[in-house]
Amino acid sequence: MNPELLGRLRPFREEALKRGLPSEDVERWIATARPSGTLVTSGDGPGVGRFGGPLMLPADAPDPWFPLLATLDCAGLPEEVTGLPLPPDGRLLLFGFPEMTDYSASAGEVVYIPAGTPVEERKTKYPCVYGEEGNEYDDGTLRIYEQFPQDELRLTADVCLPYHFLISALDPPYDDTPLPGHPLAEELAEAWLETSGAITVDGPLHIGGYASHECTEADPVADAAQDAVRSRRFRAAQSREPEDALELPAPQDWMLLAQWDIGLNGREGSTLHWVIPRQDLAERRFDRAHVSFFWNP
């Protein structure tokens, strides 16, 4: 990682040592640092896309269920900044809505449009917001959607450490376990939480790095991956297909694609996480990406 980014972790190191944590544990925690890209709506960073704007899709692409949040230029999101092996060009469209879903279903989707693909503006009323034909929409849902941001997005290089210190179990007895190799993970995560505000960039959309939300104890990426598994198991049961026909990679094999710290009226303190299997991202396939919603009202 960029030595300058690692140098920004100095306040964390000082705080952890001040708390009496052994230096070897502190350095082992710092070794887990990841680069990430924070997207902001002001400043002099390079423009890499925008919140909102027209929905541009290939003519044969299906109408999306969820509203468009952001369109990103992959060429402007290099791996050395985001830590992600994104495609070198083309556009990444993030769709989602901050609402709980049934049976751990995804709260959004990701669409990748390779460079040079013909697109046209799609005029659509998102069913998630306006309801399906013949059904009335929910006024509350529309009020949230009308607050979706409409701004240019600029990239800032960022760095982060884990906010979590537990691993959640997918199957019974559902016992949480400490992060392997880090016996003082909880104390280290607390030191990071204390200092992260002075280290990380304040912005609404994060690309790569570690996921967080207001009650982070377990990894939100692993939790979202587990939701994706539960959702597929439910769908398999409904369709009477064998579960292994819809099996997904293990939670530890997923990564954070994007995180939106929402802050809309009526959704204060809520977060959307777009997560994806590592292998899928390497293969530039986004159909199995899963979006989870967290809110602690």
* Per-residue pLDDT tens over the stretch 80-101: 999 999 999 999 999 999 999 9
The answer to whether residue 146 scores a pLDDT higher than 60 is yes
pLDDT band at 297 (very low <50, low <70, confident <90, very high): confident
Residue 114 is predicted with a pLDDT of: 97
Q: Write the pLDDT tens digit of every residue in 235-282.
A: 777 776 665 556 788 888 999 999 999 989 999 999 999 999 999 999
User: Which residues are CB-neighbours of 30 under 8 A, at least 6 positions away?
Assistant: 6, 9, 12, 13, 161
Output the average pLDDT for the chain.
92
The answer to whether residue 55 scores a pLDDT higher than 70 is yes
User: Which residues are CB-neighbours of 97 under 8 A, at least 6 positions away?
Assistant: 66, 67, 107, 108, 128, 129, 141, 144, 145, 293
Q: Which of 168-172, 179-183, 208-212 has the lowest mean pLDDT?
A: 168-172
User: Which residues are CB-neighbours of 38 under 8 A, at least 6 positions away?
Assistant: 155, 156, 158, 200, 201, 202, 203, 205, 206, 207
User: Which residues are CB-neighbours of 63 under 8 A, at least 6 positions away?
Assistant: 122, 124
Over range 197-219, report the average pLDDT.
94
Spatial separation of the C-alpha atoms in residues 134 and 138, rounded to whole Å:
13
Which is more confident, 170 or 119? 119
Residue 246 is predicted with a pLDDT of: 61
User: Which residues are CB-neighbours of 259 under 8 A, at least 6 positions away?
Assistant: 205, 206, 211, 212, 271, 272, 273, 274
Alpha carbon of 151 to those of 35, 53, 119, 178, 213: distances in Å? 24, 8, 21, 40, 23
Over range 69-78, report the average pLDDT.
98
And the tokens for 3? 């030595």
Spatial separation of the C-alpha atoms in residues 99 and 111, rounded to whole Å:
20
Whole-number percent of the chain with pLDDT over 90: 74
And the tokens for 129? 């917001």
pLDDT band at 214 (very low <50, low <70, confident <90, very high): confident
Whole-prediction pTM value?
0.94
pLDDT band at 135 (very low <50, low <70, confident <90, very high): low
Residue 170 is predicted with a pLDDT of: 64
Over range 19-40, report the average pLDDT.
97
pLDDT band at 175 (very low <50, low <70, confident <90, very high): confident
Residue 242 is predicted with a pLDDT of: 63
And the tokens for 68? 């468009």
Residue 248 is predicted with a pLDDT of: 87
Residue spans per domain, the chain: 3-294
* Architecture, CATH, for domain 3-294: Roll (2.30)
Spatial separation of the C-alpha atoms in residues 156 and 136, rounded to whole Å:
41
Residue 241 is predicted with a pLDDT of: 66
Over range 35-39, report the average pLDDT.
97
And the tokens for 123? 């005029």
The answer to whether residue 111 scores a pLDDT higher than 70 is yes
Q: CB of 224 within 8 A of CB of 273?
A: yes
And the tokens for 87? 């495609």
Q: How many Cβ atoms from other residues are within 10 Å of residue 217's Cβ?
A: 14
Instruction: Using DSSP, state whether 109 is helix, strand or coil.
Output: strand
Cα–chain center distance at 108: 11
